[in-house]
Amino acid sequence: MTWQGTLLHIHVAPAASYEMEELTEAQLIAGRGIVGDRYYLGTGTYSAKPDVREVTLIEVEVLEAIAQGEPRIPGFKAKLAPEDHRRNLTTRGVPLGHLIGKRFRVGETVLRAARMNFPCKYIEQLLGIPGLYEGLLNRSGLNCAIEVGGVIRPGDPFLPIDE
């Protein structure tokens, strides 16, 4: 599969439940996370769980589909801003669901896709959007490991390494 995508937004939060802050650039540290983010600092809700969550991604196409009410979940439609979904990186044109186990480059970094992210009911409470959990099922993003650290910026291309 040939693809090339783009990094649209970078967000971090210093601890669980804190508002996400948008960055114009971020430093990613291999084996650790994004400098200043809750998972880098060990203050995230899922920090203590043995899981690869050094950086999380979501497709802007998912946000656009939810805003239009797709897929058709009776009565559910929601507008989510990039800072609302609680993932670190918002992408366009990156087929996240097809990347498990693969490596790709963004900016100076190399990421390895570990597993799809699962939505939780907590996001419904935090944002006050009933039905959001179901709206994000099977498209809640991707958890990645950082294999090569470096700087990333919005506008950086995503490029596959493993083809």
Pairing between β-strand 33-34 and β-strand 109-116 as defined by DSSP bridges: unpaired
Q: Considering only 85-94, 99-108, 126-135, which range has the smallest mean pLDDT?
A: 126-135
Q: How many domains does the chain have?
A: 1
Residue indicated by tokens 């989510």:
80
Q: What is the pLDDT of residues 6-39, one digit of tens each?
A: 999 999 999 888 899 999 999 999 999 999 999 8
42 burial type by CB count under 10 A (0-12 exposed, 13-18 middle, 19+ buried): exposed
Q: What is the pLDDT of residues 136-148, one digit of tens each?
A: 888 889 999 999 9
Q: Give mean pLDDT, residues 42-61.
A: 80
Query: Where does the pLDDT of residue 112 fall: very low under 50, low under 70, confident under 90, or very high at 90 and above?
Result: very high
d(CA 8, CA 156): 8
d(CA 93, CA 107): 16
d(CA 14, CA 12): 7
Q: What is the pLDDT of residue 131?
A: 83
Specify the CATH number for the domain of residue 133: 2.40.33.20
| pTM as predicted | 0.91
* Strands (DSSP E) found in 19-141: 21-23, 26-29, 33-34, 55-59, 89-92, 103-106, 109-116
Q: What residue numbers bound the domain in which 37 lies?
A: 5-160
Q: Which amino acid is at 112?
A: R
